[in-house]
Amino acid sequence: MSLYKLSNVEQYYDGRRVLSIDNLTLDENQIIGFFGPNGSGKSTLFSLLSFIDKPSLGNVSFNGLCNSKLDFETRQSVVMVPQNPYLLKRTVYENIVYGLKLRKQTDNLDEKVLEALSLVGLDNSFSKRKWSQLSGGESQRVALAARLILKPKVLILDEPTTGVDTNSAQLIKEAILTAKQKYNTTILISSHDHNWLNHICDRKVALFNGSLVEAGGVNLLFSPWQKNEDGNLVKHFIDGQRLEIKNSKSKKRDAVAMINCDSINICRVDCEEMKDENTLIAEVSSIQQLNGLDDLLIEFTISGISFNCKISRKLMQEQSFLPGDKINVNIDTTKVCWI
């Protein structure tokens, strides 16, 4: 049985739908990464998974029980570090023991604080410091230690590496891996740092305008980018091909483009009707059947970089693609999102 099961979940703010998830299951003792552009619904989803909010419609079940039937203790076993964690205006020690005291678990506090601090790479001298005597990265780690000390069943981290240096990001990563191993904690993390997520996650889930993008259904195009004369970002592939992204003047050269597989059209290389100045040449690497759908997922490479797109069975019958075939690729760059 999955730990979480979401069915037909929708969340509305001021009459506007910001989240719509037909089906999502999350398994126990995994590290699951959530990514997507700003405003795609990651924090909203986390507020439902942490039981801070109830969905406007649909059902979030946990360990087989509907969220409205969960007892206080079960709710308390799920803890979250929000995007901008709040520290009490007290010492680090008092911040870290706060949750334990609320739960009336007051035995061996000193020992537990020492263990929690060492998990996040801070020594015991920090316990006497005031909240105001910490750097941004140290505050993040204290906020994390205050949750780890609870040995939670689920730990939800909303962008834990935003604004922290690489050393703190590494320490946070190690603390998360230790929590998974030592306490069997299930960890849900959102981050815009794909390298960091790739190194730590067992599974990654993409959100796009409040909807889930099925595994393999999204393409990420990483830097380096160059700017053309109009200021738009252009990807130069090693084989000399180029892809200009429309309306990207405001984006930086280290941005990551997210291209939904539905925004890509393909046809055989000898099919003239799709060809224009933006058409790229690619090579088919694999063809997979998508579960329960009348669609196929085609993986292909453009100058060694992997992409995928969906095609209908009808198009497959017309074009009969095979691995190794050269294809024309058109990407609707007006639909690109940025991470």
Ligand X SMILES: Nc1ncnc2c1ncn2[C@@H]1O[C@H](COP(=O)(O)OP(=O)(O)OP(=O)(O)O)[C@@H](O)[C@H]1O
108 Ramachandran zone, left/alpha/beta (phi>0; psi -120 to 50): left
Give the nearest distance from C-beta 39 to ligand X in angstroms.
4
Q: Are strands 218-221 and 211-213 parallel, antiparallel or unpaired?
A: unpaired
Taking the least distance from each CB to ligand X, the nearer of 38 and 125 is 38
Residue type, 65: L
Q: By CB under 6 A, is residue 18 in contact with ligand X?
A: yes
Q: Phi/psi at 286 (nearest 5 deg)?
A: -155, 165
Give the nearest distance from C-beta 338 to ligand X in angstroms.
11
Among 33, 41, 58, 152, binds ligand X (CB under 6 A): 41
Distance CA 160, CA 173 (A): 9
Q: By CB under 6 A, is residue 330 in contact with ligand X?
A: no
- Which of 34-42, 117-125, 251-259, 290-298 is the region at the interface with ligand X (rule: CB under 6 A)? 34-42
Q: Are strands 31-35 and 186-190 parallel, antiparallel or unpaired?
A: parallel
Q: By CB under 6 A, is residue 43 in contact with ligand X?
A: yes
How far is Cα of residue 299 from the mean position of the Cα atoms in its chain? Answer: 22
Q: How many residues bind ligand X (CB under 6 A)?
A: 11
Q: By CB under 6 A, is residue 38 in contact with ligand X?
A: yes
Q: By CB under 6 A, is residue 44 in contact with ligand X?
A: yes
Give the nearest distance from C-beta 36 to ligand X in angstroms.
6
Q: Are strands 78-81 and 218-221 parallel, antiparallel or unpaired?
A: unpaired
Q: By CB under 6 A, is residue 64 in contact with ligand X?
A: no
Give the nearest distance from C-beta 192 to ligand X in angstroms.
7
Distance CA 319, CA 328 (A): 12
What are the residues binding ligand X (CB under 6 A)?
Answer: 13-14, 18, 36, 38-44
